[in-house]
Amino acid sequence: MTALSQERIRAHAVEAVRTVVALAFVIAAAAAALVAIDAAPAWIAGESRDVRRAQTVHDAERRLRARLVLPAYFPDTLAWPPRRIRFTVGPPGAAALSVDGPDGSPRLLLAETVAPGDIPAALVPDAQVLDRSAVAVGAARGTLSRVVEDGVTVWQVAWELDGRRLLLRSRGTVEELLRMARSARETP
């Protein structure tokens, strides 16, 4: 093989590598840009990219491909439908429903998974636990706590139902909260 042909082979090899590297760079940059554009709505709303919003409970169920557990008892201190429905596809898939009172003030948070696993932290606002105790939620054992959220002390109950984790956090009375938790079942 002559020096000239070796030189040509080397030049072609360099060009081939440059071609592939440039293409990989462009595609990677495009993919990163697409991910950033996809995440922008969540960032604007102050959420992480995983957290999506649904318009209705039915929409959230469709996108999670699972029925949500909702309290059958729903006091008239709460306004239906939820003001905000957020969900993550997981795994495990999870949803959080924020329900206001009739005056528009935040009253209740219902968060739940649709499969075994913890409720994602992104769906439940941070709160400081003051105390906790065991409580019966139907046949299940749950945890009743007093927590401080945004400077307000609220009641919270967490329990497990058929492998799904549920959490109710309410600014109402503890009796009302437990009654709602005990009436919770999958939507028909």
Partner 1 sequence: MVHARVAALAIEALLRLWRARAPDDRLALRLLGLGQPLLVTPALLLLAPQRAGDEFHDRWALLALRHWEEVCVAGVSLLTAGVAVGVAMGLALFLMDLLPLLPGRRRALPASAPAPAALAAALAAAAAAHRVRAPALHFLASRAPALFCAGVRSPVLVVSRGALEMLDDNELRAALAHELGHVDRRDPALSWALMAIRAVLLFNPVAQVVARALARDAEWRADERAGGDHLALASALVKLHRAGLARPAPARRSLPFAAALAEPLRRARSHDVEARCRRLLEPSAPPRLAFRPVRVALATASLAALSFLVA
Binding footprint of partner 1 on the chain (CB under 8 A): 12, 15-16, 18-20, 22-23, 25-27, 29-31, 34-35, 37-38, 40-42, 44-45, 52-53, 62-63, 65, 89
**Residue number, 42 or 124, with CB nearest to partner 1:** 42
Q: Residue 146 and residue 133: Cα distance in Å, rounded?
A: 9
Q: What is the DSSP letter of 116?
A: S
Provide, rounded to whole angstroms, the least separation between the CB of residue 126 and partner 1. 23
Least separation in angstroms between residue 78's CB and partner 1 is 24
Q: How far is the CB of 46 from partner 1 (least distance, A)?
A: 12
Q: Tell the smallest beta-carbon distance from residue 123 to partner 1 (Å).
A: 15
Q: Which parts of the chain are beta strand (E)?
A: 52-54, 69-71, 79-88, 94-100, 106-113, 128-137, 140-149, 152-161, 164-170, 184-186
Cα–Cα dist 79/5, whole Å: 80
Q: Nearer to partner 1 by C-beta: 22 or 129?
A: 22
Question: Is the CB of 19 or the CB of 153 nearer to partner 1?
Answer: 19
Nearer to partner 1, 18 or 141 (CB): 18
Residue 108 CA, distance from chain mean position: 16
CB atoms within 10 A of CB 63: 14
Which is closer to partner 1, CB of 31 or CB of 129? 31
Tell me how many degrees the CA angle 182-184-187 measures, rounded to the nearest 5. Answer: 160
d(CA 81, CA 54): 12
* Least distance CB 104 / partner 1 (angstroms): 18
